[in-house]
Amino acid sequence: MKPIDILFIASFLIIASSASADIYKCKDARGQVTFSQMPCAPDAKKIIVKTPEPTAEDREQANATMEKNNAMVEAQQGTRRINSAKNQVDELIAERDAKLQQLRIKKLYAANNLAGATWEKSISEEMRAVTERYNADIESARARVRELESQKK
């Protein structure tokens, strides 16, 4: 057997034993060795794999690695939340600008008479209301971004 095959089989045995599955070793007619979770031949031999208990040092190292990984995941989630909040700000700005542009175009059609002046005034008030509403939402979203960024530090 090649060293890589032995390594593969050893890894397989360790993984399989940690999952507490039975492992059987069989030889076919040509003498090829196979490993299976179920008996693959009438003369299949059940293999018992004994794994050593991890040392205290191994446990400490595993815990340190897990803590490091958890910290990385939390940092990535924080970055995702910040980016999401920034995208919300950008979307609100784009929505506000699109609505204001629609209202500006409407204003162009106001006739140069009393009715047109009244309509234009109405559109201007609507633009002011849209601006105030969106500016409040945008400022709230920006505050959320600042809050998330301060939590990350």
Structural element, H or E, at residue 112: none
Cα–Cα distance for residue pair 37/109, rounded to 1 Å = 79
**pTM for the model:** 0.58
Matching residue, tokens 């945008």: 138
Closest CA to 99 of 122, 131, 124: 131
Closest CA to 126 of 113, 152, 108, 107: 107
pLDDT at 20: 58
Show the low-confidence residues of the chain (pLDDT under 50).
1-3, 7, 16-17
Cα–Cα distance for residue pair 99/101, rounded to 1 Å = 5
pLDDT (tens digit per residue) in 20-50: 567 888 887 788 888 888 887 777 788 887 8
